[in-house]
Amino acid sequence: MITLIHFRPLVLTALTVAFLSACSSSVRVLAPVEDRTPAGRTPTVNASPVPAAPVEVAKPMSGSDTVVKPGFYMVQKGDTLTRIGLDHGQSWRDLARWNQLSNPDAIEVGQVLRVSPPGGAVETAGVVVRPIAQTASSSVIVNAPKPEPATAVNTPTSNTSAAATPSPNDEGLGFIWPANGTLIAGFDEAKNKGLDIAGKAGDAIVAAADGQVVYAGAGLRGYGNLIILKHNNTFLTAYAHNQALLVKEDQKVRKGQKIAEMGKSDSDRVKLHFEVRRQGKPVDPAKLLPAR
**For the chain, what is the domain count?**
2
Whole-model pTM: value is: 0.62
Residues 140, 155: Cα–Cα separation, whole Å: 27
**Is residue 184 one of the residues assigned to a domain?**
yes
The DSSP code for 195 is E
My answer on whether 273 and 164 are in the same domain is yes
Cβ-in-10-Å burial (0-12, 13-18, 19+) of 133 comes to exposed
My answer on whether 165 and 252 are in the same domain is yes
185 bridge partner residues? 196
**Is residue 207 one of the residues assigned to a domain?**
yes
My answer on whether 105 and 168 are in the same domain is no
My answer on whether 101 and 220 are in the same domain is no
**Is residue 89 one of the residues assigned to a domain?**
yes
My answer on whether 112 and 168 are in the same domain is no
**Is residue 174 one of the residues assigned to a domain?**
yes
CATH of the domain at 111: 3.10.350.10
pLDDT digits (tens, 9 = 90+) for 173-232: 999 999 999 999 999 988 999 999 999 999 999 999 999 999 999 989 999 999 999 999
My answer on whether 196 and 252 are in the same domain is yes
Q: Tell me, what's the pLDDT at 290?
A: 94
CATH of the domain at 229: 2.70.70.10
My answer on whether 169 and 250 are in the same domain is yes
pLDDT digits (tens, 9 = 90+) for 100-141: 998 888 899 999 999 888 875 444 433 333 333 333 333 332
My answer on whether 195 and 246 are in the same domain is yes
**Is residue 76 one of the residues assigned to a domain?**
yes
- Compute CA distances 111 → 61, 81, 211, whole Å: 14, 12, 30
Give the strand pairing for 195-198 and 183-185: antiparallel
Q: What 3-state DSSP class applies to 283? A: strand
pLDDT digits (tens, 9 = 90+) for 21-59: 554 544 454 555 455 555 555 555 454 555 554 444 333
Radius of gyration, alpha carbons of the chain: 40
My answer on whether 84 and 165 are in the same domain is no
Handedness of CA 207, 213, 215, 216 (dihedral sign): positive
My answer on whether 92 and 203 are in the same domain is no
What's the CA angle centered on 141, arms 138 and 142, to 5 degrees? 130
Higher-confidence position of 83 and 259: 259
Give the strand pairing for 235-245 and 225-230: antiparallel
**Is residue 179 one of the residues assigned to a domain?**
yes
Q: How confident is the model at residue 151 (pLDDT cuts 50, 70, 90)?
A: very low
Q: Tell me, what's the pLDDT at 155?
A: 40
Q: Print the domain residue range for 280.
A: 158-287
Length of the chain: 292
Residue 244 backbone dihedrals phi, psi, to 5 degrees: -150, 140
Closest to 242 measured CA to CA, from 219, 259, 230, 255: 259
My answer on whether 167 and 250 are in the same domain is yes
- Compute CA distances 189 → 195, 222, 223, 228, whole Å: 11, 16, 16, 19
Q: Tell me, what's the pLDDT at 211?
A: 97
**Is residue 142 one of the residues assigned to a domain?**
no
**Is residue 130 one of the residues assigned to a domain?**
no
Name the region of 98 (left: φ>0; alpha: ψ -120 to 50; beta: rest): alpha
My answer on whether 184 and 258 are in the same domain is yes
